[in-house]
Amino acid sequence: MPGSVLLVSLLLLTDVLTQCSLFALLKRKCLQLLCLIKHLLSLMFDVVEKIKTSLAQPSDRWLYFNGSLYYNSSNEKTWQESRKDCIQKGADLTIINNREEQNFIRQFKKYLWIGLTDIETEGKWKWVDGTPLTRSFWDSKEPNGKTLENCGQIKNPNLQNNWNDERCSNTHNWICEEKVSL
């Protein structure tokens, strides 16, 4: 009998030690998980701070609006040079998808190249990502340039419908857009 009590005690002690070992492992894993969560929260906080900062910057900086960052240039270039600048920044000339985005871009109060062109096929307007134009904000009597004016531009920011087709070789400010996923 004393031998069986000793054996049971040994088995219980082994079980307790195993459970303590598993508890210690679980505790370490929980601490690692908490550190990872803390790091992710810190990264998220940094992104939110960058967005807040961009909203407070002058209009020639990156601005956040509705899931995208927009770069409003402070100088003028041709449409092709403007697009090249956007691409170098990891973006492209802006694609205007709806009235809210149109209104956001109008706030810059200046002529701006946008990512719209019919350079491939006259009269078949497409965005820089290759999607066809479905929703538009052309000024009255626009587009009217035929083969001479193949690039899209915001012309009169005071009007809701203010798009103009313009000679791509003319110089204007431009606006880049980069989609952001948080």
* 116 pLDDT tier (thresholds 50, 70, 90): very high
CB 143 within 8 A of CB 125: yes
CB 151 within 8 A of CB 119: yes
Say whether both 29 and 9 belong to one domain. yes
pLDDT digits over 152-173, tens only? 999 988 888 999 999 999 999 9
Say whether both 99 and 159 belong to one domain. yes
Taking the whole predicted model, whether its pTM rises above 0.75 is answered as no
Q: How far is CA 84 from the centre of its chain?
A: 18
Ranges 29-38, 45-54, 101-110, 151-160: which has the least confidence: 45-54
Residue 130 has pLDDT above 80, yes or no: yes
Say whether both 101 and 129 belong to one domain. yes
Say whether both 50 and 66 belong to one domain. no
Say whether both 19 and 69 belong to one domain. no
Please give the radius of gyration of the chain, using alpha carbons only, rounded to the nearest integer.
29
Q: HSE of 94 in the Cβ direction (CA atoms, 13 Å)?
A: 30
CB 90 within 8 A of CB 71: no
* 11 pLDDT tier (thresholds 50, 70, 90): low
DSSP letter, residue 159: S
Ranges 56-65, 75-84, 90-99, 104-113: which has the least confidence: 56-65
Provide the pLDDT for residue 58.
46
Cis peptide before 58 (omega within 30 of 0): no
Nearest-10 Cα torsion for 47, 50, 56, 58: -130
Say whether both 101 and 117 belong to one domain. yes
Residues spanned by the domain of 13: 1-56
Say whether both 67 and 123 belong to one domain. yes
Helix/strand/coil for 145: coil
- In this prediction, residues 68-88 reach a mean pLDDT of 95
Say whether both 47 and 66 belong to one domain. no
The domain tally of the chain equals 2
Say whether both 22 and 94 belong to one domain. no
Say whether both 161 and 120 belong to one domain. yes
Say whether both 15 and 105 belong to one domain. no
Mark which of 17, 38, 56 sits at the end of a domain. 56
Higher-confidence position of 154 and 44: 154
Chain mean pLDDT for the chain: 84
Say whether both 16 and 103 belong to one domain. no
CATH number, domain with residue 115: 3.10.100.10
Q: Measure CA of the first residue to CA of the last residue in the chain; give whole Å.
A: 67
